[in-house]
Amino acid sequence: MLQRLFVFFILCRPINVPTNFNRLVSRRCLCTTLTTYLTTILFLSGCGKSFKSEALTANGNVKVLLLSNKQVNSELEVEEANPFEFKVVELFNIYDLVSLSGKYARFYTNATNKENNLKGTQPIAQFFKSKKGYFVAKNNFSLELATLYYHTQNLALIDQKIGANQLNLLPRKIVIGTKISNSSFQENNAIYDGGMDAIIFLNYTESNLALPFNGGIFAHEYFHSMFYKAVQKGLESNPFFKENSDPSESKIDLNLAVPKFEKNKFIENSKMNPHTLKKDLSLELNDIKSLSKQSIKDYYILLLKGLNEGIADFWGWAYSQDKNFILHSISKVPSIRTLDLKAHELRIPELVTQNMILNEVMGTFADQEEKSAYINYFSYIIGTRFALFFKELVTVISKERKLSTDEASTIVMKSIFTYLTQLGEKLVKHDFNQSKVDLISSQDLIFEFSQVLKPTKLPECQLILDTFNSDTKNSKKLSCLIKNEIYALSAPQEESASEK
Ligand SMILES: [Zn+2]
C-alpha cells in the first residue's frame, strides 16, 4: 500500500562498519540500563497495590519516566557508548494516557491506508504511578509510545520557534505496531509518508536501541514532512515532472523502496563509493544542451533528494547532538553518514558538484529498478555533504555569536525553513526546459540559502564561501562583502546589485 505514496527512508547502503564505530553502541550498557529499568518497575510495583485508576484518568501535563538522549553541553560528551538515560519528563496536553493521544500526537496501530485515508486502532498503554508522582511504563510498548509522544512534542515546539507550525499541523500522526504488506522493506526502518502525513515505524529486529527510542531518527523523519510540504508537493505539480508519458520513467517522488544495496551489483561495482568520492569524476559536459529531458529530471530528483536527506540528517543531529545517531539503532549504517568532517578527511564540507551528479544520472543501468536503487543510494552521499555544511554552520555561529549549540541550531533551522519555502515557490513554476542551459547546482542552493541566513560575522560568510568554492569548476569568483552589518557572497563588480 505504501509504494504509491511519498515515503522516505533513513537507511542507506549497508557496508562494513569500521571497528571504531562499533564501540559507540554498547549493547551491554543498553541492556544494563533496561535491566535497571525493569528492576525498578518490579520494585515500585512489587507491593501489589493497584494504581490502575490513576493511569486511566491521567490527562493534561503528565510526568513520565522515559528513555531519552542524555543532556549534553558539547558534542564531545556524547561520544560515549550509550548516550541515553532514563529521566522524568513532562508530556504536555495529554488527552488520554492509555492511548497516549494528546495535542501533539495520535497513534495508529494495525493501521490501514485507503487513498491516503489513514485508519487504525488506538494503542493501549499501561502505566502505574510511582510514589514520587510520575508514571512508569509497565512494558516496552508503553515506553515506546510515551517516548514518541515526547519527541513529537519537542519537535513541534521547535516548529513553533522557526515558524514551521503553519505547515506541520497537530496532532502528528504516528503509525506503530503495523505489519507492512506488499513491500520489500518490512523492518528496521522508519518512513515519512507524505500522502497520509504520517511517520511510520516498521518492526525492529536488531538488538540495539529500538527505533522509537532514537530521537535523532525520529527528528530525521519529522523533517521529511517539512520538505514534502514546502518543496516536494509543489514540484510534483510542475508540468515538467507531472507529465510522465513513459510509466518506466523516474518519478519525482523518488521514494524508491529501500533497495537491498548489498544485492545491487551496480552499486557494489560503482566508482562512486565513499572512498573515491574525492577523486574528480566529472565529465566534461561542454554541451549541456544535449541533455535529454529524462536526464534533466533524474538530475533534479537526485539533487533534491540529496538536499532532503541531508537536511533530515542535520535535523537528527541538531535534535540529538549526536553525530552518529543512526548507528545506535541500525548497525549497518554506512560510515559515510557520520556527521564529522574529520571522519571524511575534509577541512570544509565540500559539496557534490553538478558534474558529479550528472555523471551518476547518465550512467548505464540494466533497468529502471537498478537505476532507482542507485539514485536512492547516491542521494545520501550528496545529502551528507549538505548535512556537514549545516552542522559546521551551527558550530561557527555558536562560536562567533557566543550562543549555545541549541540557540545556533534554531537560527540555522529557521533559515532552512524560510529558504525551503522560497525554494518550493520557485520550483513549482520553474521552467525546467530552460534549465538545459542553466541547471541549478548544489552550490546555487547554498548561495540562495546564504541570502536567507544573512551572516553577521565574517567566519560565517567565509564557511559559506569556502563551501561554495568547493566546486573548482565553478567559474564565479565571489567574496564576502559587508553592507549594513550583513555579509553577502558577491562578485566584486556586482557588489551594489547583490545587496539591493
Ligand atoms: Zn530520510
94: which strand partners? 60, 102
pLDDT band at 46 (very low <50, low <70, confident <90, very high): very low
The C-alpha cell at 116 is 491516503
User: Among 246-260, 295-309, 321-335, 445-459, where is mean pLDDT lowest?
Assistant: 246-260
The rounded Å distance from CA 314 to ligand 1 centre is 11
Q: Are residues 57 and 153 in the same domain?
A: yes
pTM to 2 decimals? 0.84
Between CA 349 and CA 341 the distance in angstroms is 7
173: which strand partners? 106, 198
Q: Are residues 225 and 150 in the same domain?
A: no
Residue 495 reports pLDDT greater than 70: no
User: Among 143-157, 342-356, 453-467, where is mean pLDDT lowest?
Assistant: 342-356
Q: Are residues 63 and 190 in the same domain?
A: yes
Q: Using one digit for the tens of pLDDT, what is the confidence trace for 165-210?
A: 999 999 999 999 888 765 556 678 888 989 899 999 888 888 888 8
- Residue 408 in any domain: the answer is yes
Closest of 366, 352, 193 to residue 277, by C-alpha: 352
The rounded Å distance from CA 209 to ligand 1 centre is 18
Last residue within a domain, chosen from 173, 188, 213 = 213
Q: Are residues 153 and 294 in the same domain?
A: no
Q: Are residues 271 and 340 in the same domain?
A: yes
Between CA 64 and CA 375 the distance in angstroms is 42
Between CA 385 and CA 337 the distance in angstroms is 9
| Contact partners, residue 419, CB within 8 Å, separation at least 6 | 448, 449, 452, 453
- Residue 298 in any domain: the answer is yes
The rounded Å distance from CA 122 to ligand 1 centre is 26
pLDDT > 70 in the chain, percent: 72
Q: Are residues 272 and 325 in the same domain?
A: yes
Q: Are residues 225 and 106 in the same domain?
A: no
The C-alpha cell at 113 is 491506508
Between CA 194 and CA 199 the distance in angstroms is 9
- Residue 478 in any domain: the answer is no
pLDDT > 90 in the chain, percent: 41
- Residue 21 in any domain: the answer is yes
What's residue 93's pLDDT?
A: 97
What's residue 182's pLDDT?
A: 56
Q: Is 243 exposed, middle or buried (0-12, 13-18, 19+ CB in 10 A)?
A: exposed
Q: Are residues 408 and 278 in the same domain?
A: yes
The rounded Å distance from CA 354 to ligand 1 centre is 22
Ramachandran sector of residue 197 (left: φ over 0; alpha: ψ -120 to 50; beta: rest): left
Mean of pLDDT over the chain: 78
Q: Are residues 200 and 294 in the same domain?
A: no
Q: Using one digit for the tens of pLDDT, what is the confidence trace for 5-40?
A: 333 333 333 223 233 323 333 444 454 455 556 555
Measured in whole angstroms, the distance separating CA 121 from the mean position of its chain's CA atoms is 28
The rounded Å distance from CA 311 to ligand 1 centre is 9
- Residue 301 in any domain: the answer is yes
Residue 139 reports pLDDT greater than 50: yes
In the chain, the number of structural domains is: 2
Residue 365 reports pLDDT greater than 50: yes
The rounded Å distance from CA 409 to ligand 1 centre is 19
Which residues keep their CB under 5 angstroms from ion ligand 1? Answer: 8, 10, 309, 312
The rounded Å distance from CA 94 to ligand 1 centre is 29
The rounded Å distance from CA 205 to ligand 1 centre is 20
The rounded Å distance from CA 217 to ligand 1 centre is 9
What's residue 447's pLDDT?
A: 92
The rounded Å distance from CA 476 to ligand 1 centre is 32
Q: Using one digit for the tens of pLDDT, what is the confidence trace for 105-121?
A: 999 998 888 888 898 89
The rounded Å distance from CA 305 to ligand 1 centre is 9
The rounded Å distance from CA 58 to ligand 1 centre is 35
What's residue 40's pLDDT?
A: 54
Average pLDDT over residues 80-99: 89
The rounded Å distance from CA 39 to ligand 1 centre is 36
- Residue 488 in any domain: the answer is no
Last residue within a domain, chosen from 151, 183, 213 = 213
Q: Are residues 233 and 201 in the same domain?
A: no
The rounded Å distance from CA 11 to ligand 1 centre is 7
Q: Are residues 165 and 246 in the same domain?
A: no
- Residue 53 in any domain: the answer is yes
What's residue 51's pLDDT?
A: 45
- Residue 346 in any domain: the answer is yes
Residue 329 reports pLDDT greater than 50: yes
Q: Are residues 242 and 175 in the same domain?
A: no
What's residue 374's pLDDT?
A: 78
Last residue within a domain, chosen from 187, 213, 239 = 213
The rounded Å distance from CA 176 to ligand 1 centre is 18
The rounded Å distance from CA 289 to ligand 1 centre is 32
The C-alpha cell at 179 is 505489519
Q: Which domain holds residue 135?
A: 2-213
Average pLDDT over residues 226-231: 96
The rounded Å distance from CA 45 to ligand 1 centre is 40
Residue 156 reports pLDDT greater than 80: yes
What's residue 27's pLDDT?
A: 42
